[in-house]
Structure 1
Amino acid sequence: MATLRDDYDIPWKDALTRYFPAFMAFYFPRAHAAIDWRAPTVFLETELAQLARDAMLGRRMADKLVQVTLHGGAVEWVLLHLEVQGRREGGFAERMFTYNYRIWDRYRRPVASLALLADGSRSWKPDSFGYRLLGSSMRLSFPVVKLSAYADRVEQLLLDDNPFGLVTAAHLLTRQTKGDSRRRRAEKRRLVMLLFQRNWDKRRIIDFLNVIDWMMRLPAELERALWNDIRVMERSDAMPYMSMFERMLRDEGRQEGRQEGWREGRQEGLQSILAALLEERFGPLPSEVRERLAGADGEQMLCWAKAVLAAPTLSAVFRQP
């Protein structure tokens, strides 16, 4: 099976984790309506990882197991399979079945299985697995949403207030512009402009800018031209949300790459800005983190800075290679 690169999964994983209610409202509205969103949701990463190891299921990066509270007070588990892949997988429905019954076997918890499929086929839609033998039967049926089903509704997606309308549009436009970099540049510019026109808080703007940017990769020359264009608009106050460090990161990371010999004063300034960005994202920094920043060179800071935009926790920033 040919899968898309892991760095394509990352923005989906982070977006659905941070904005899980919006994700459910967009793709699974009936399930969303049954959940009491006043109660906290808990992502059961340890349970899912252990299950996958025990069963050798080949867990996908974006699979999620989430504890939610339903209206009426019942606490239940939702198993969400987010398959960000380029081709159909013959054993997908069986894997959903296996996850489901192993959760029951290990934790004695009923679980709702949901699937979002990002392949390009409209006809492939596995939504059940089971068997019958000698009068006995076993079957799992589960809701499936295909991103390809939205292919003729891109313009509607761009007007949707739910941020996953933009995410879905970005996914579809990335597929539609494969091999046509100049059209992709134009579509990416349009999405970024629409994003910055939304009446959202700064954090949400940056998070979904990161998702779109990861998906819609461009050749270096067109990428530079796009962000130069955006910086011009930003100076005209059309796009006020990009922080000082993020602008510097665009300049260094996208245009020149890893530069040698950063001047000492510039490096100290970047350390201060990176510390401020980390504090804004994750809260007060431990002393050991400040020591790591003080001892880092420009190349290492650039690596951490890129990680800040997508990392779910402070420790995840510093796990980057």
Structure 2
Amino acid sequence: MTAQDTDRPTDHDSPWKEALEHYFQEFTQLLFPAIHGEVDWSRGYNPMDKELQQITADANTGRRHADKLIQVYARDGSETWVLIHVEVQGEPEEGFAQRMYTYQYRLRDRYEVDVVSLAVLADTRESFRPSAFQYARWGCKLSFTFPMAKLIDWEARWADLEASDNIFALVVMAQIKAKRIKDGATRKDVKIALVRLLYERGYSREQIVQLFRIIDWMIQLPRALEAGFVQAVYALQEEKKMPYVNTIERVEREKALQQGLEQGLGQGRQLEARRILQRQLRKRFGDLPDWVSEQLEAADVDQLEAWSDEILFAESLDTLFRH
């Protein structure tokens, strides 16, 4: 595998990007097994992020969530680029199939290589299952189809995920629970259960740290429940004799920041609260529109902190700010 290790992704990335870069082979094996069988994995794979950015930089195609471009080699020796769109927003996107087509033809036109587009839908709307883009007028017709995986279909096969030896099964489980469960206490219990699975599967230290970071980012908890989660992880690490994940370091940094906010006065405290909320919003929803920035500038500290508490359960920016 030639994907390079990375630190925790930036606010403009997502846990899906990290998971796909580290575990692309396992991803295809679990969600697209027919395609997995066509790839010569002995030759590795390479992320093509710069190439993807070049064709999406000026594309008026809405918010991008976790698009990845990966170079692989087919079993017949030919080079193929695999374009993956991961749809993770709370509400399905009307123009999703067209965006799939736009990226497909731009890559094909610019680089003259075969491009295989894959869609992963992490929303919870049962009826949203785009797998084609087509139009026809006056005898001119276009039809573009692409393989699609709907994650909530795995809810009926949850036992298969729990028993799977595929490392990507944990990513799918975490994403499903992150979208389905809104109650904070239940989220904490589910998160602890997934971390326990992580320790019980015999993964390497590096894999445990990487997967913990992905799960920790996907299933976020209200601040009031973080301490209980941390204690549970420490108890689990003691039980398994695997002190791999230094969660307390992260929590202590957040605690110190919160104490600093509480001790701060006036404008300094407000600026810090706004900076933290902006970071949370970008991590959850991507680039912020101007109307959101205007609301952040006008809000006082109490309102900013209230939004920070509610961000985990908001399906969209509209839900958080306008309702």
TM-score normalised by the chain length of structure 2: 0.72
1:74 is matched with which residue? 78
Q: Is the 8 A contact 1:252 1:259 kept in 2?
A: no
2:253 is matched with which residue? 253
Unmatched segments (≥5 aa) in structure 1: 1-5, 261-302, 304-321
Give the aligned CA root-mean-square deviation in angstroms.
Answer: 2.2
SS in 1 for 2:80: strand
Q: How does 1:29-178 map to 2 (within 5 A)?
A: 29-58=33-62, 60-178=64-182
Distance (whole Å) between structure 1 residues aligned to residue 126 and residue 73 of structure 2: 33
Deviation at 1:69, TM superposition (A): 0.4
SS in 1 for 2:43: coil
Q: Using CA pairs below 8 Å that are at least 6 residues apart, which structure has the higher relative contact order?
A: 2
Deviation at 1:133, TM superposition (A): 2.7
SS in 2 for 1:38: helix
1:193 is matched with which residue? 196
Distance (whole Å) between structure 2 residues aligned to residue 165 and residue 54 of structure 1: 35
What is the number of equivalent residue pairs in this alignment? 252
Distance (whole Å) between structure 1 residues aligned to residue 155 and residue 123 of structure 2: 12
Are 1:182 and 2:185 counterparts?
yes
Distance (whole Å) between structure 1 residues aligned to residue 12 and residue 231 of structure 2: 24
Q: Is the 8 A contact 1:129 1:139 kept in 2?
A: yes
Deviation at 1:192, TM superposition (A): 0.7
Residues 12 and 60 of structure 1: CA distance in aligned 2, closer, same or farther (over 3 Å): same
Residues 28 and 8 of structure 1: CA distance in aligned 2, closer, same or farther (over 3 Å): farther
Are 1:212 and 2:215 counterparts?
yes
Deviation at 1:117, TM superposition (A): 0.9
Q: Is the 8 A contact 2:132 2:143 kept in 1?
A: yes
Distance (whole Å) between structure 2 residues aligned to residue 74 and residue 84 of structure 1: 31
Q: 1:240 aligns with which of 232, 239, 242?
A: 242
Distance (whole Å) between structure 1 residues aligned to residue 12 and residue 225 of structure 2: 20
Distance (whole Å) between structure 1 residues aligned to residue 100 and residue 238 of structure 2: 49
SS in 1 for 2:192: helix
Q: Is the 8 A contact 2:226 2:251 kept in 1?
A: no
Distance (whole Å) between structure 1 residues aligned to residue 29 and residue 213 of structure 2: 21
Unmatched segments (≥5 aa) in structure 2: 1-9, 261-275, 277-323
Deviation at 1:56, TM superposition (A): 3.3
Deviation at 1:72, TM superposition (A): 1.3
Deviation at 1:135, TM superposition (A): 2.7
Counterpart of 1:197, as a letter, is: E
Residues 251 and 141 of structure 1: CA distance in aligned 2, closer, same or farther (over 3 Å): closer
Q: Is the 8 A contact 2:65 2:89 kept in 1?
A: no
1:28 is matched with which residue? 32
Counterpart of 1:226, as a letter, is: F
SS in 2 for 1:98: helix
Q: Identical aligned pairs, as a percentage?
A: 38
Deviation at 1:254, TM superposition (A): 5.0
Provide, for residues 234-254 of structure 1, a one-character-per-residue CA deviation record: whole Å limited to 9, x for no partner.
234x141415xx255145135
Residues 171 and 61 of structure 1: CA distance in aligned 2, closer, same or farther (over 3 Å): closer
SS in 1 for 2:42: coil
Distance (whole Å) between structure 2 residues aligned to residue 34 and residue 111 of structure 1: 14
